[in-house]
Structure 1
Amino acid sequence: MNRSVHVVLPGGVDDPAAPSGGNVYDRRLCDDLPRIGWQVHEHAVAGTWPQPGAAARDELAKILAESEPGSLVLLDGLVACAVPDIVVPETERLRIAVLVHLPLGDETGLAPARAAELDALERRTLSSVPAVVATSGWAARRLVTHHGLDPARVHVAAPGVDIAPQASGSDGASGLLCVASVTPRKGHFRLVEALAAVADLPWTCVCAGGLGQDPGYVGQLRALIEKTGLDDRVHLVGPQSGAELDASYAAADLLVLTSYAETYGMAVTEALARGIPVLATDVGGLPEAVGRAPDGSVPGILVPSQDPVALATALHRWFGEPALRRRLKAAARGRRAALDGWRTTVWNLAGALEQLRIDPRRAA
């Protein structure tokens, strides 16, 4: 059997107006697997995943039904996890792996009943497929404990990063950057509240990320920025990629990421790949992304997620303690040199696929 895999993605994976870590990850896998000898058959399924309409459901069902028996299929979890009625029957015929970027029920802002429903649907899907791929060690452990999965079936392929030129920054302190879609899960409200608490300090904050996923939330955030008098200091610049995003990183002194839930945090390693230290909430896989330099130093500050003053306190420390800034920047440079690239990611995922290809019973 050839090393061939059908990869099923949500539509819009290449949409520049809606960049996301999951989309970047999916694109790198599809582009890089052929470089290590895999043939990739890519299928993008348009729809409002994880709540697809009839047309999206029919398209997914058709893709699976038309795959040859025994075919290896890698499904993005956003597509697979909410439709066990489509995916589970095909596990008898196909060798299916599901790539989980974020457990569906962990999305911030869901009504409790909807979160519980998504959680149950995801459990049915993941319990039935022979292999699951998580994007961090933390995420793998959570899936195992939360859904009662066999640890042997859950594999880790953490996102890689391309090392970039070291950021020049601004004055060494005042250039703050947040790279995240403007949605409730990313916690922009508490970022703005923390920035308002340090309004007497010299800073500007660029928030680069999609603005179209939750327009109501964006409108409320703009109102908060105006109310706190930060209109000329907090800049919602919309989605950025390529040279434009590179320029934002190059001008940054500190990355700030205030998420309520993250399985990894690719913006963290993108910053560290440029020698930029990080201020982030201590949630999910973010500590794993921040990591340590080879000498054991930590290239960032992690603050408790539920402490409303912790962010402001950390910002006061960043601006008020030059020695702290020097230590964090040195640690970020050390971490930069030790980061794994995307080749490691692809080899890790290919290992899970190869095990499933050779012997699906072992994967199961």
Structure 2
Amino acid sequence: MIKSRRLSFVYPGSLDRPTGGYRYDRRMMNELERLGWAVSRVALSDEFPLCGGLARLDAEARFRALPDQEIVVCDGLAFGVIPEIAREHQQRLKLVALVHHPLYLEDGLSSDVAEAFFQREKEALQYTRRVITTSSATLAQVRDTFDVPTSALRAILPGTNPLPRPDPPDLRSEPPSLLCVGSLIPRKGQDVLVEALSGLTDLDWHLDLVGDTRCDEAFAQRLQDLIAEHHLEQRVTVHGSVADHELSRFYDRASIFALASHYEGYGMAFAEALLSGLPIVASGRGAVRNTVPAAAALFCSEGQAASFRQALKLMLVDTRLRAEKAQGAAAAGSALPTWSEQGALLSNTLEALL
């Protein structure tokens, strides 16, 4: 008897949110369907992970409505804060957690909230059949900090869409066009990047900041204030979120990719920069140095504007260095996995649960 390949994919809010995590979810659902899976999309409240009682009650009802022995893949933004629901359904449902990065590592959390996230996510993950992470670095972190056995863990990286080999940097715009892609949240460090650039006004450059401004509106406003404080309104443009085809054009026009992240579970924007053959200035814990090879980047101390400023200056003034790092980026980008390859890995992982 052939077992039915069906599953429910649970996530908070709208799948259209322009973040790396939601792009991963969307693409993996599409790849699974292409491989013959029937995928039911189950949307929870957009309040997760900082959700109230009504959002939790809604989540409880949605999980109880799922059929017995269903494979349920749940995005970690929600799964990490619902251990009670996971405990209730651990035998009835085949629970699979998708961890982009541990919730307690998000910047800007109070110590009490971070500790609560840590404890709740640690408990919730004990009730899963599998835990999918989006990088080997996050896998190691989940294994070591949450005591998840290696046998239950799988690292399935984001894929890429193969592109023609990018133009070499001497064919890109002059003066250099800097690009930063990421939701405007403290963890992505756009404030550090602006502070760094405020000390480089004697050089020619322009920065495009692309990313959702709605995730942390207070931070987004502070960033605008910081740009104005340093009189950079004519040199830094905040674009907000853009459609995928528009984002591709930003990568095509850029000369240097810069992201002063504090932490990344994988760093899809870094991978896209590699795919576009862009030299990179980067910082951050987690998977940053796994995703970005040294041959493609200058690495800086996280949260340190002075360190980032020094690296940016080197990349801006030394065209030979920029060309070398661009060559390293293009080589690394050509070796990145495709979405079809990664979708097949996820499919095989889930088939083992049938």
Where on the TM-score scale, by shorter chain, does this alignment land: which range? over 0.9
Residue of structure 2 in register with 1:347 after alignment: 344
CA deviation after TM superposition for structure 1 residue 227, in Å: 1.2
CA deviation after TM superposition for structure 1 residue 54, in Å: 3.3
CA distance in 2, matches of 1:25, 1:180: 14
Q: 2:206 is matched with which residue: 204, 208, 212? A: 204
Q: Which secondary structure does the structure 2 equivalent of 1:212 belong to?
A: coil
CA distance in 2, matches of 1:197, 1:85: 50
Residue of structure 2 in register with 1:103 after alignment: 102
Correspondence 1:299 to 2:283: no
Task: State the Cα deviation string for residues 16-68 of structure 1 (Å, max 9, x = none).
Answer: xx410011001001111011222211111123001223333233222221222
CA deviation after TM superposition for structure 1 residue 198, in Å: 1.4
CA deviation after TM superposition for structure 1 residue 322, in Å: 2.1
Q: Which secondary structure does the structure 1 equivalent of 2:239 belong to?
A: strand
Q: Which secondary structure does the structure 1 equivalent of 2:264 belong to?
A: coil
Task: Please provide the CA RMSD for this pair.
Answer: 1.5
CA distance in 1, matches of 2:122, 2:47: 20
Residue of structure 2 in register with 1:135 after alignment: 134
Identity fraction in percent = 30
Residue of structure 1 in register with 2:288 after alignment: 286
Q: 2:239 is matched with which residue: 214, 222, 237? A: 237
Correspondence 1:154 to 2:153: yes
CA distance in 1, matches of 2:331, 2:183: 28
Residue of structure 2 in register with 1:362 after alignment: none
Amino acid at match of 2:24: Y
On the 8 A contact 1:163/1:274 being kept in 2, the answer is no
CA distance in 1, matches of 2:353, 2:235: 51
Q: 2:195 is matched with which residue: 186, 193, 196? A: 193
CA distance in 2, matches of 1:313, 1:99: 37
Gaps of 5+ in 2: none
CA distance in 1, matches of 2:284, 2:183: 19
Residue of structure 2 in register with 1:333 after alignment: 330
Q: Which secondary structure does the structure 1 equivalent of 2:59 belong to?
A: helix
Amino acid at match of 2:238: L
Task: State the Cα deviation string for residues 179-202 of structure 1 (Å, max 9, x = none).
Answer: 011111111111011101211111
On the 8 A contact 2:179/2:258 being kept in 1, the answer is yes
Residue of structure 1 in register with 2:30 after alignment: 31
Q: Which secondary structure does the structure 2 equivalent of 1:356 belong to?
A: coil
Q: Which secondary structure does the structure 1 equivalent of 2:258 belong to?
A: strand
Q: Which secondary structure does the structure 1 equivalent of 2:276 belong to?
A: coil
Residue of structure 1 in register with 2:262 after alignment: 260
CA distance in 1, matches of 2:172, 2:55: 44
Residue of structure 1 in register with 2:172 after alignment: 169
CA deviation after TM superposition for structure 1 residue 307, in Å: 4.0
CA distance in 1, matches of 2:207, 2:238: 9
* Count, aligned residues: 348
CA distance in 1, matches of 2:46, 2:328: 42
Structure 1 residues 1-20: aligned runs within 5 Å: 1-14=3-16, 18-20=17-19
CA distance in 1, matches of 2:59, 2:284: 36
Amino acid at match of 2:127: S
CA distance in 2, matches of 1:222, 1:26: 30
Amino acid at match of 2:326: K
CA distance in 2, matches of 1:55, 1:46: 9
On the 8 A contact 2:192/2:303 being kept in 1, the answer is no
Amino acid at match of 1:100: V
On the 8 A contact 1:97/1:131 being kept in 2, the answer is yes
CA deviation after TM superposition for structure 1 residue 164, in Å: 2.9
CA deviation after TM superposition for structure 1 residue 353, in Å: 1.2
Q: 2:312 is matched with which residue: 312, 315, 337? A: 315
Residue of structure 2 in register with 1:270 after alignment: 272
On the 8 A contact 1:163/1:336 being kept in 2, the answer is no
CA deviation after TM superposition for structure 1 residue 351, in Å: 2.5
On the 8 A contact 1:99/1:134 being kept in 2, the answer is yes
Gaps of 5+ in 1: 292-296, 358-364
Q: Which secondary structure does the structure 1 equivalent of 2:352 belong to?
A: helix
CA distance in 1, matches of 2:98, 2:219: 28
CA distance in 1, matches of 2:11, 2:218: 27
CA distance in 1, matches of 2:143, 2:232: 43
Correspondence 1:179 to 2:178: no
CA distance in 1, matches of 2:206, 2:305: 21
CA deviation after TM superposition for structure 1 residue 265, in Å: 0.5
Amino acid at match of 1:240: V
CA distance in 1, matches of 2:145, 2:344: 27
Task: State the Cα deviation string for residues 130-161 of structure 1 (Å, max 9, x = none).
Answer: 21100000000000111111111111111111
CA distance in 1, matches of 2:203, 2:94: 56
Task: Point out the more displaced range, 114-123 or 67-76.
Answer: 67-76
On the 8 A contact 1:47/1:53 being kept in 2, the answer is no
